[in-house]
Amino acid sequence: MTISIGSDHAGFEYKQKLIEFMIGKGIQVIDHGTDSDRSADYPDHVHPVARDVEEEEATFGVVLCGSGNGVAMTANKHQSIRAALCWNRELAELGRRHNNANVLALPARFISYDLAQELFEVFISTPFEGGRHLRRVLKMPVKC
């Protein structure tokens, strides 16, 4: 499994800890920064994550910022990305099970690191249920 990850300054600390955790679990990691807690613009670090997932260079993406909203909105600009903003276990599970989410967006200023790690584990281990949910997921992209 390969995970592409990116954050702004607000998500930097959690990003670093998540990377260490992933590597410890034998997960390949593509780190798109930011590389410090200095102010950074999240789109610069989220678009590369979304591209990695779109181009199947990564199995899943993880994006972090203070609220999680900016990174989720940015990732979801990509046609084949389904970023789920999660702050509890049920949202992470349902994002995968019902929506086939392929990017996990985390609000670093509103959850603990331990919860962020738990949400990541739930996200990557929950399969997409398919069935009636597949029909809905297939309707998500805008058809121009």
pLDDT for 38-88, tens place per residue?
A: 999 999 999 999 999 999 999 999 999 999 999 999 999 999 999 999 999
Distance CA 14, CA 113 (A): 6
Interior CA angle at 121 toward 90 and 80, to 5°?
Answer: 80
Total structural domains within the chain: 1
Domain harbouring 93, CATH code: 3.40.1400.10
Is 133 among the domain residues? yes
First-to-last C-alpha distance (Å) of the chain: 33
Is 128 among the domain residues? yes
Catalytic member of 9, 32, 45, 98: 98
Is 143 among the domain residues? no
Is 38 among the domain residues? yes
- CB of 97 within 8 A of CB of 126? yes
Distance CA 90, CA 113 (A): 17
pTM as predicted = 0.96
| Residue 83: φ, ψ to 5° | -90, 130
Closest CA to 65 of 129, 108, 19: 108
Is 43 among the domain residues? yes
Verify whether residue 98 is a known catalytic residue.
Answer: yes
| Residue 96: φ, ψ to 5° | -80, -50
Q: How high does pLDDT run on average in the chain?
A: 97
Closest CA to 71 of 20, 14, 124: 14
Query: What are the pLDDT digits (tens) for 86-143?
Result: 999 999 999 999 999 999 999 999 999 999 999 999 999 999 999 999 999 999 988 7
Q: Which domain holds residue 114?
A: 2-138
Is 17 among the domain residues? yes
Distance CA 40, CA 43 (A): 9
Is 144 among the domain residues? no
